[in-house]
Amino acid sequence: MNPPTTVRDIRDRVRRGALSATECCQDTFERLDAVDASLHAFNTVTREQAFARAAEIDRHLDRWRDRPLVGVPIALKDNLCTKGIRTTASSRILDTYLPPYDATAVAKLEAAGAVVIGKTNCDEFAMGSSTENSAFGPVANPWAVDRTPGGSSGGSAAAVAAGITPLALGSDTGGSIRQPAAMCGVVGLKPTYGRVSRYGLIAFGSSLDQIGPLARTVHDAALTLGVIAGADASDETSAPEPVADYAAALTGEVGDIRIGVPWKMIEQGVDAEVARAFEASLGVLAERGATLVDVDLPHARFATAVYYLVATAEASSNLARYDGVRYGFRAPVEGGRDDEGHDLLRTMYAQTRARGFGPEVKRRIMLGTYVLSAGYYEAYYLKAQQVRTLILRDYDRAFERSDVVAMPTSPTPAFRLGERVADPLQMYLADVFTVSANLAGLPAISVPCGFTQAELPVGLQLTGRRFDEATLLRTADAYERITGWWMRVPHV
């Protein structure tokens, strides 16, 4: 079987004139039409716009040829605003929302020559670890359609894994790029907080959210990061640090890399096959010349608890804007005052939100409202922010002894659809190894590191220093070159 098509392949063939953007578009939609009925990776398909754009590129190839992503089809998570294209965040409350502007990351990809082919399914407002919280139904994992693709960027991961597009954007608040990447056998990168503008990303946890690529190879993720990174006047938290040539940093060398392994943190609760694949991946890197060192992240075991206090608090404020006034669904109300004497406006708010939001979003709004309420703020929200400081300091200390920190991305391979829906706490624990990078604002990547006996992919997670995506990507790329796991594709 041929290795899967990469961003680089397509870009180079379009540049050479061996493939037109229109032909590439045709192949993409042919594949989408063949598999998406069984995957449900897409909420919206932008066929007409994509062919119009591809035709424009083909017509003016001289103008587009040198752009880094010329002719490359991409899928966008449906919480990224696209001008005039339905953007739902997989929520009923935004079912018909047509943004009046593009997210900065989307605008940059299009300026680089990429062709948007659709918006991918995800957990509602990116809240979930399985894509089962989508108001439009779950996504199936291309490796086993009775299993989840992970979440919340499950549609983006499934689209890349199934070979619909070689590239997708996701967002990661607590692991929502890396965990589905691991479960679908693709590469997923969460950049440093501030590396990519969040303008036009529908907000969930504003101090944690980051946009990043899902791709077949580390090279393609590096290339994409170079396109979407950089300061943006529309996002005050976007960082002024210079953007490196990430693709050029991929030398294949890891002889100078010290890999920190927080053994204490991962000795319990990790599936045996995941643990085996993880340990084997460390062996591969050590054999190639990297040095393995023990590091301790003593507060990382509190990261999931801290995360669900901080993220829900931020979510409860961010989602206050969905009240049926300026955009989205509004519940119809009639009459004067209701039985309890509330005015109609408040009744409209409460009913709009009751009917517009799904159960997980309501649960998180409730939790966040509670931890921010008078009398509980200090005990929960403030306390969580203090422990967040300690988690940050743990990483600072670990990076005195190491250049990247390695962990499994997820403690288990993809679980079955429906298996954890009734137990939100069990679902939250799927994020145990991913949330601390968001709390500390660090870049982290998941790269395929093997398969279970049941042919389910396993991911290796590497976390780096702030704004040192170059070292992170170089290590992941070297590992990928040696092992070649990325070349295995599902039979969907």
Partner 1 sequence: MFTREQVHAIAALAQLELDPHEIELFARQLGEILAYADEVQQVDTTSIPPTASVVTRYPSDRPDTVIPSLTPEQALANAPDPATRHGLFRVPRVLG
Q: Which of 91, 129, 130, 152 is catalytic?
A: 152
Among 110, 385, 451, 481, binds partner 1 (CB under 8 A): 385
**Cα distance between residue 277 and residue 403, in whole Å:** 21
CB closer to partner 1, 255 vs 332 = 332
Active-site pick, 90, 134, 176, 410: 176
Q: How far apart are CA 403 and CA 211, in angstroms?
A: 23
Instruction: Mark whether 176 is an active-site residue.
Output: yes
Q: Rounded to the nearest whole angstrom, what is the least distance from the CB of residue 228 to partner 1 in the complex?
A: 17
User: Which of 70, 219, 40, 61 is closest to 141 using CA atoms?
Assistant: 40
Judge residue 233's burial from the number of C-beta atoms within 10 Å of its C-beta, 0-12 exposed, 13-18 middle, 19 or more buried. Answer: exposed
Point out which residues pair with 116 in neighbouring strands. Answer: 74
**Which is closer to partner 1, CB of 5 or CB of 88?**
88
Q: Which of 244, 284, 387, 482 binds partner 1 (CB under 8 A)?
A: 387
- Least Cα distance to 454 among 484, 416, 428, 421 occurs for 416
Q: Which regions of 10-72 does DSSP assign to beta strands (E)? A: 42-45
| Nearest to partner 1 of 20, 317 (CB atom) | 317
Q: What are phi and psi of 55, to 5 degrees?
A: -65, -40
Interface residue with partner 1, options 34, 52, 98, 454 (CB under 8 A): 98
Shortest distance, position 135 Cβ to partner 1, whole Å:
16
Tokens of 431: 């994020």
Please select the residue that binds partner 1; options are 1, 2, 100, 268, rule is CB under 8 A.
100
Q: Does 325 bind partner 1 (CB under 8 A)?
A: yes
Asked if residue 384 binds partner 1 (CB under 8 A), the reply is yes
In the range 237-276, which residues lie near partner 1 by CB under 8 A? 237-241
359 binds partner 1, rule: CB under 8 A? yes
Task: Strand 444-451: give its sheet, edge to edge.
Answer: 42-45, 115-120, 73-77, 167-172, 210-215, 187-190, 444-451, 457-464, 404-408, 258-261, 291-294
CB of 396 to partner 1, least distance (A): 12
Q: For 244-343, where are the alpha helices, taking DSSP H only?
A: 263-266, 272-287, 303-318
Name the strand (E) or helix (H) holding 72: none
Q: Would residue 38 show up in a list of annotated catalytic residues for this protein? A: no
Q: How far apart are the first and last CA of the chain?
A: 14
Residue 299 binds partner 1, judged by CB under 8 A: yes
Min CB(171)–partner 1 separation in Å: 17
Q: Judged by CB under 8 A, which of 29, 143, 204, 357 binds partner 1?
A: 357
β-pairing, 115-120 vs 73-77, is: parallel
Lookup: tokens for 289: 């010349």
Is 77 tagged catalytic? yes
The residue within the footprint of partner 1, chosen from 91, 131, 141, 316 (CB under 8 A), is: 316
The distance of closest approach from Cβ of residue 451 to partner 1 in the complex, given in angstroms and rounded to an integer, is: 32
Task: Select from 151, 174, 180, 194 the one that contacts partner 1 (CB under 8 A).
Answer: 194
When the beta carbons of 64 and 349 are compared against partner 1, the nearer one is: 349
Q: Measured between alpha carbons, how far is 311 from 309 in angstroms, rounded to an integer?
A: 6
Number of other CB atoms surrounding residue 424 within 10 Å: 17
Q: Site map for partner 1, 7-46, x if CB under 8 A? A: ----------------------------------------
**Binding segment for partner 1 among 41-49, 71-79, 383-391, 402-410 (CB under 8 A)?**
383-391
In the complex, least distance from residue 363 CB atom to partner 1, rounded to whole angstroms: 6
Which residues are catalytically annotated?
A: 77, 152, 176
